[in-house]
Structure 1
Amino acid sequence: MTHTLVPVEESATLRRTVEYAVESALDASDGDAHITFAYVISADSTQLPGSELEESGRDLLDRIEVWTEEDAGEHIDELTVETTVLGADEYLFSPSDVARVVGARAVSTGVDRIVLDPEYDPGAGQPLLEPLKSELSRDDRFDTEEAPVEHPRRSARVVAPASASRFLGTFLISFVFYQVVGGFAGIFDLVTGVATALIAAIVLSQVTFARPPQVGASLARIARWCVFAPVLLWEIVIANLQVATVILNPRAEIDPRMTRIHAAVWGALPVTTLANSITLTPGTLTVRERGQDLYVHSLLPVSREGLFDGSLERWVRFVFYGRRAMRIDSPRERGDAEVLQQSDDSETEKEADADDDAGGESA
């Protein structure tokens, strides 16, 4: 009997990877093939059964079971299909963590080979496939291979039609950037800045903007950026002082938690701006982004309260949508903020620590 393990996650090549795994397992077996599809929960999860991320994983595994029946066809009786969720009781943050859990499952269940989706990435905070493949390949108790499936073609246009507004916008941005970085020192800098900006506009104007910039709206947004910059700097200073206070005071409260915010911002650039602004503020780190959902690790209760009050979210809306957008309720008021639960082990450890402290005080 052959036993194949396939780590799965939503991707453009997942469907074809499942098809390859099923067909190759049936071809390699003598009428008795076994496939396990494993959904791995990584660092952005709640780490508890029943959590939102685990539920989405089980939905995906249910779909994969249907695909497997389709791919096996009349040979379905020769195939044993199993699905599982891995990492629900651990905090998996790196490719080596994921490889350790996947490898342990392979060894404990007698897996002969592991098939990897070419675009597999459960979101462990960094590009995963190559380091994961390298880690798994070190174990000679099973074979590791990448499914030989083609990546889908990207249909989105990279080069936009030429236009005067794109050309002028690229020219102005390049010229201002040149002057700011180089430092204005006279006519020479003006001439070289114009020449550099002209070259940049000729070469890059058709790939710089997704849509033609509107001069009035762009100038207004730049002005709002100038207002937002000192606000963000102030938030960073305050957060630095809060974290420094905790470092200097061993008795200060530290309560690391994973949180989820459904942000009231729309579009790739606004969401990215908000995620990066949160990360720039000490005490909070954006671990992952899924659409408008931001998974943020918060170190201190005060950091978490500021996140839920939505100050940075409100200012990002101001930058991209104007003053009226600041009136939207905070994530806490909208019910779009939550602290994701910790594992049972973590709670048990906390209770044990509390009991030890109580016992120490009694003694």
Structure 2
Amino acid sequence: MTASDARRLLVPVDDSVTLRNTVAYVVAEAETAATDGPVELHFVDVATTRSVDPDAPEELSEATELLERVEVWVEEDLGEDPPTGISVETAVLGADRYLFSPGDYAEAILDYAADVGADRIVLDPEYSPGGATPMLRPLQLELTRDDIAVEEAPVERRTEATVLGRAASLPKYLTVFGASYLFYMLLSAWKPLDFLTGFFTATLVAVLLAPVAFSQQPSVFRVGKQLARMAVFVPYLLKEIAVANLQIAYVVLHPSLPIDPKIVELRAAVWGDAPVTTLANSITLTPGTLTVDVTDRAFDIHSLTAGSREDLFAGGLERAVRFVFYGREAAAIASPRERGDDGEGQDG
């Protein structure tokens, strides 16, 4: 690596089993390059939908703590007599925008790289800012669209660091066990044997699914708020279903059968498995619209009438789902039509 390549290194960080080794590699490269001139190390934590998440302060605190930990590691690796010319900068990116796909994350990273004049990006081989879903390969492809060198830190992956090993934690086990046990008992006759078989069944489910059931640590406080907001959402959804039923009944009974079927794409401002699934199923439950496919945040929806499309892009259901999972602030985000999504689609 030449000195010019190493003058400004940008290192996106996320809590992973290889992050410590990646930091050590970057510091070693900086020490080598520092013999020819000043070196700036930029460590950045890319935010995950923090701009509209009411739990953003908690997540931003975690990001700040991780970056502080990285700074401590850099100091350790530089030793008591660090070479001159090496400086460290940290930042949290993406808190002012909505991030979902690898392209969104790449754009945030490249914007920062352009701002600071970074000429090389070093990626942790286990880097995955979106949660448990692997993102490194598609992110690398997205980053190469700009004129900047991108490399993967040549550090060893711990062979035991599988998805199960990385993701498992006591809160996840307890949450999955409790939910599974409660569901089992709701379907049982509450006999003594049911309590025993329910315990073993819930334990098995927790062992198998807890490591991959969440992209972040479960929070009793957060889940409690979401359940309370869900109690408000359900009556709203039932009202929307009833209104849509009346609209479809009118269309069916009208002599001219005024239907205009089309498949449209809705780019919804929701993220995460549970919110996306909730919105997709809510759209399907509402007569006149059917969720056909979901890719990232793009929903392919079959709509039967122009009125159903109008309601869809007015954003009522989307706002309601955001309210359930992210709170009142997220509900105030512009509707799809206000964001410029006109809902044009294919005839169906």
TM-score (norm 2): 0.48
For the pair shown, which has the larger CA radius of gyration, 1 or 2? 1
TM-score (norm 1): 0.46
